[in-house]
């Protein structure tokens, strides 16, 4: 993945984000509000669990037969007058889109919010040709104007409040302070006036898609603002970039996802705008339609027995909204297009970069993400599996010495736990060795990696007698016929 923003590693970015009080308040407010609404919206459906299992089954079936359905999709799109392009990776996808845009000779394109084009940094690639890509989703436009990456899959500007948004709009739309209040309706109105001009002028639109139906070659976008429909109907040329895992076999399958996606993401019964288009039609909609099918690490993920389930993801972002880690540090700390629990498993698999080995550790494994996932991805198990690979890969590269103090401690503990004799010796050693840190029965100012613990929490000193000592003494007393301890 080409990423112009060189992010800090999570363990550095997260504490910095924690110190931003405004960010924490914004995030806590919004995630708790969406969380509660989502719970209500899913509880409304008596067959929610059945829908969840159906979504999982459809995705698993599709992934097992992905080649078949992608070839069918290609055939149907071409038959409907569209063109299909295959891209192995981000660079290839960007080259294809740049060539298509250059052929139209435009300096500006309008875009529908798309995680996939963010993943490949398409806007950055277009900028190299002097082409400006205007984001038309309100929140996406806000982060674009702020020159920041999105911080949430669904609510890219979740970390911004309306006062911050007003300041951005005053600058971008060249307004005086008295022309714009921080009233949400006024802010939306200002953005609408700006965007309407872009829609009417644009000859090329670029989108992602939520689903593509193999049986008819139809692509589908769900959205809330109508900007997606503008982009897919007004410009002459429509270029859609689609991750290959987004295909579904039939229209019938959409029945499931068009219920689970909106309820999981925005807690709505249905999205305000659900748009479908199939190829090109004389006198209506775009005259040229290009579908770019992106692999970008997906085939490698598909080949993995444990990781494969990650590709079921329909980008609803429910896992972000319930994640206690995401709630505290926000999306930017993850340093990837996909933040939160899904990002912590998707990013390392798609990118395959050693730097991302840290992301699977950004979790307490509390399991809240698995509970809410509408396609039942067992995110905690995949996190643990990715941790295992990270450790194995590091050890293969550097067998000795230990990578860090935590590594050394864990390897030492494993050796100590291997036999009861060593375990009990280690227990005695810890009891004796703790003396320098015990103050009034509490362990304070612990050394090395344990400092992170004792900075914020007390830990009671190790008691004189372990349970096993109590049990042994009690058994001995019983054998002597005495009173148990």
Site string for another protein, 413-452 (x = CB under 8 A): xx--xxxx--x---x--x-----------x------xxxx
Tell me how far apart the alpha carbons of residues 143 and 158 are, in angstroms, rounded to a whole number: 10
459 touching another protein, by CB under 8 A? yes
39 touching another protein, by CB under 8 A? no
User: Which residue, 80 or 466, is less far from another protein as judged by CB?
Assistant: 466
Tell me how far apart the alpha carbons of residues 26 and 362 are, in angstroms, rounded to a whole number: 20
As a whole number of Å, the end-to-end CA separation of the chain is 64
In the region spanning residues 252 to 311, those forming contacts with another protein, defined by CB under 8 A, are: none
Q: How far is the CB of 64 from another protein (least distance, A)?
A: 20
Q: Is the dihedral of CA 323, 325, 330, 332 positive or negative?
A: negative
Closest CA to 63 of 295, 246, 319, 297: 246
Closest CA to 329 of 18, 12, 8, 4: 18
Q: How far is the CB of 482 from another protein (least distance, A)?
A: 17
Q: How far is the CB of 136 from another protein (least distance, A)?
A: 35
Torsion (CA) 68, 153, 346, 134 in degrees, nearest 10 = 70
Q: Are 280 and 81 in contact (CB under 8 A)?
A: yes
Segment lying near another protein (by CB under 8 A), choices 59-67, 128-136, 186-194, 387-395: 387-395
201 touching another protein, by CB under 8 A? no
403 touching another protein, by CB under 8 A? no
Given 184, 453, 473, 482, the residue binding another protein (CB under 8 A):
453
Given 127, 463, 476, 477, the residue binding another protein (CB under 8 A):
463
362 touching another protein, by CB under 8 A? yes
Given 69, 277, 289, 370, the residue binding another protein (CB under 8 A):
370
Q: How far is the CB of 361 from another protein (least distance, A)?
A: 6
Given 128, 399, 457, 479, the residue binding another protein (CB under 8 A):
457
Tell me how far apart the alpha carbons of residues 87 and 89 are, in angstroms, rounded to a whole number: 6
- Residues near another protein (CB under 8 A), total: 65
Cβ atoms within 10 Å of 242's Cβ, excluding its own? 25
204 touching another protein, by CB under 8 A? no
User: Which residue, 324 or 352, is less far from another protein as judged by CB?
Assistant: 324
User: Which residue, 171 or 471, is less far from another protein as judged by CB?
Assistant: 471
36 touching another protein, by CB under 8 A? no
Q: How far is the CB of 322 from another protein (least distance, A)?
A: 9
455 touching another protein, by CB under 8 A? yes
Instruction: Point out which residues bind another protein (CB under 8 A).
Output: 10-11, 14-15, 18, 24, 324-325, 328-329, 360-368, 370-371, 381, 384, 386-392, 395, 406, 410-411, 413-414, 417-420, 423, 427, 430, 442, 449-453, 455-460, 462-463, 465-472
């Amino acid at each position: 993945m080409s990423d112009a923003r060189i992010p800090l590693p999570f363990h550095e970015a997260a504490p910095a984000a924690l110190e931003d009080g405004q960010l924490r308040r914004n995030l806590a407010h919004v995630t708790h509000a969406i969380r509660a609404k989502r719970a209500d919206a899913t509880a409304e459906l008596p067959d929610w669990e059945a829908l969840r299992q159906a979504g999982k089954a459809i995705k698993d079936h599709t992934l097992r037969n992905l080649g078949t359905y992608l070839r069918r999709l290609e055939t149907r799109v071409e038959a409907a007058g569209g063109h299909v392009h295959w891209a192995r990776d981000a660079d290839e996808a960007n080259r294809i889109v740049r060539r298509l845009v250059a052929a139209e000779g435009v300096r500006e394109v309008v875009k529908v919010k798309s995680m996939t084009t963010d993943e490949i940094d398409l806007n950055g690639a277009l900028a190299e040709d002097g082409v400006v890509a205007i984001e038309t989703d309100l929140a996406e436009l806000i982060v674009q104007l702020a020159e920041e990456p999105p911080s949430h899959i669904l609510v890219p500007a979740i970390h911004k409040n309306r006062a911050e948004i007003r300041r951005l709009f005053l600058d971008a739309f060249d307004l005086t302070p008295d022309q714009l209040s921080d009233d949400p309706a006024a802010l939306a109105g200002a953005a609408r006036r700006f965007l309407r001009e872009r829609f009417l002028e644009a000859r090329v639109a670029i989108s992602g898609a939520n689903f593509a139906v193999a049986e008819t070659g139809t692509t589908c976008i769900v959205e809330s603002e109508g900007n997606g429909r503008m982009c897919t109907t007004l410009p002459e040329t429509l270029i859609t970039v689609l991750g290959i895992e987004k295909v579904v076999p039939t229209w019938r399958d959409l029945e499931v996802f068009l219920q689970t996606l909106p309820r999981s993401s925005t807690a709505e019964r249905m999205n305000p705008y659900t748009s479908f288009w199939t190829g090109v039609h004389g006198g209506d909609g775009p005259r040229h339609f290009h579908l770019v099918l992106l692999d970008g690490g997906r085939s490698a993920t598909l080949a993995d027995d444990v990781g494969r389930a990650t590709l079921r993801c329909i980008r609803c972002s429910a896992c972000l909204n319930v994640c206690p880690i995401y709630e505290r540090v926000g999306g930017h700390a993850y340093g990837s297009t996909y933040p939160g629990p899904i990002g912590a498993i998707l990013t390392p698999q798609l990118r395959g970069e050693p730097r991302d080995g840290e992301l699977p550790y950004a979790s307490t494994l509390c399991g809240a993400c698995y509970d809410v996932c509408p396609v039942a991805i067992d995110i905690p198990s995949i996190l643990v599996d990715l941790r295992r690979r990270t450790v194995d890969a590091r050890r293969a590269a550097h067998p000795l010495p230990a990578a860090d103090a935590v590594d050394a401690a864990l390897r030492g503990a494993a050796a100590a736990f291997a036999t009861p004799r060593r375990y009990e010796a280690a227990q005695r050693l810890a009891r004796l060795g703790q003396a320098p840190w015990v103050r009034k029965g509490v362990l304070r100012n612990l050394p090395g990696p344990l400092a992170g613990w004792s900075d914020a929490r007390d830990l009671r000193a190790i008691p004189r007698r372990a349970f096993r000592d109590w049990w042994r003494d009690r058994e001995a007393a019983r054998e002597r016929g005495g009173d148990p301890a």
